[in-house]
Amino acid sequence: MNSTMMDSPLTITALLRRGARVFAGSEVITCEGEASRHARFGDVAERTQRLAAALQALGVKQDDRVGTLSWNHQEHLEAYFAVPCMGAVLHTLNLRLPPHQLAQIINHAGDRVIIVDDSLVPLLAAVKPHLRTVEHVVVVGAGDASALAASPSFDWPDIDERSTAAMCYTTGTTGDPKGVAYSHRAVYLHCFAIWGAFRIDDTERILTIVPMFHVNAWGIPYAAWMVGADLLMPSRFLQPQVLCNFIQSERPTFTGGVPTILGGVLQYVLANGSDISSLKRAVCGGSAVPASLITAYRDKLGIECIQAWGMTETSPIGTIALPPKGTPADREMDYRSTTGRSVPGVELRIIDEDGSEVPADGESVGEIEVRGPWITASYYNAEAPEKFHDGWLRTGDVGHIDAKGFVQITDRSKDVIKSGGEWISSVELETLLLGHPAVADAAVIGVPDEKWQERPLAAVVLKEGATATPDELRSFLGSKVARWWLPERWAFVDELPKTSVGKQDKKLMRALYAEGKYPVVELAAAPR
Regarding the domain delimited by 417-522, which CATH topology (the fold level of the hierarchy) does it fall under? Answer: GMP Synthetase; Chain A, domain 3 (3.30.300)
Largest pairwise CA distance in the chain: 81
Q: Which residues pair with 490 in a beta bridge?
A: 458, 521
Which of 142-146, 187-191, 332-336 is least confident? 142-146
Q: Give dist(CA 263, CA 286) in Å, integer.
A: 13
Q: Give yes or no for residue 145 having a pLDDT over 70.
A: no
Residue 402 pLDDT grade (very low, low, confident, very high; cuts 50, 70, 90): very high
**Which residues lie across from 464 on neighbouring strands?**
none
pLDDT band at 175 (very low <50, low <70, confident <90, very high): low
Asked if residue 341 has pLDDT above 90, the reply is yes
Res. 114: pLDDT tops 70: yes
Give the whole-angstrom CA distance, residue 115 versus residue 91.
Answer: 10
Per the prediction, the chain carries an average pLDDT of: 92
The count of C-alpha atoms lying within 13 angstroms of the C-alpha of 37, restricted to the half-sphere facing its C-beta, is: 14
The CATH number corresponding to 341-413 among 2.30.38.10, 1.10.10.60, 1.20.1260.10, 1.10.4160.10 equals: 2.30.38.10
∠ CA 452-124-85, rounded to 5°: 90
Distance CA 35, CA 48 (A): 24
Domain spans in the chain, listed from the N-terminal domain onward: 9-140+161-237, 238-314, 341-413, 417-522
**Residue 485: C-alpha distances to residues 63, 307, 341, 394, 480 (Å):** 34, 25, 31, 26, 10
For the cut 60, the answer to whether the pLDDT of residue 174 exceeds it is: no
| Cβ atoms of 114 and 79 closer than 8 Å | no
351 phi and psi, to 5 degrees?
A: -120, 135
Beta 417-419 vs 422-424: how paired, if at all?
Answer: antiparallel
Active-site amino acid positions: 170, 313, 418, 423
Q: Give the pLDDT confidence score for residue 41 in this predicted structure.
A: 98
Judged against a pLDDT cut of 50, whether residue 501 lies above it is answered with: no
- Give residue 527's pLDDT: 62
By percentage, how much of the chain surpasses pLDDT 90?
75
- pLDDT range class, residue 404, cuts 50, 70, 90: very high
pLDDT-based confidence at 144, cuts 50/70/90? low
Cα–chain center distance at 457: 23
Per-residue pLDDT for 104 more than 70?
yes
Strand, coil or helix: what is 85? helix
CA dihedral 208, 237, 479, 472 (to 10 degrees): -110
In 450-510, beta strands by DSSP E: 453-462, 489-492
Domain 238-314, second-level architecture: 3-Layer(aba) Sandwich (3.40)
Does this chain's domain 9-140+161-237 share its CATH topology with 238-314?
yes
At 268 the pLDDT is: 96
pLDDT greater than 90 at residue 186: yes
User: Rounded distance, CA 113 to CA 91, Å?
Assistant: 10
Among 183, 255, 310, 223, residue whose Cα is nearest residue 31: 255
Q: Give the end-to-end CA distance of the chain in Å, rounded to a whole number.
A: 61
pLDDT of residue 500: 40
Residue 414 to residue 427: CA distance in whole angstroms: 10
pLDDT confidence band for 480 (50 / 70 / 90): confident
What crossing angle do the helices spanning 220-227 and 184-198 adopt, rounded to 10°? 70
Rounded-to-integer distance, Cα 219 and Cα 148, Å: 32
Comparing 28-37, 53-62, 214-223, 257-266, the range with the smallest average pLDDT is 257-266
pLDDT for 143 beyond 70? no
Three-class SS state of 330: helix
Pick the closest to residue 10 from 169, 152, 182 (CA basis): 182
Kindly state the average pLDDT of the residues 275-286. Answer: 95
Which CATH number does 9-140+161-237 carry? Answer: 3.40.50.12780
Contacts (Cβ under 8 Å, ≥6 apart) of 514: none
**pLDDT for 25-52, tens place per residue?**
999 999 999 999 999 999 999 999 999 9
What value does the mean pLDDT take over residues 420-424? 79
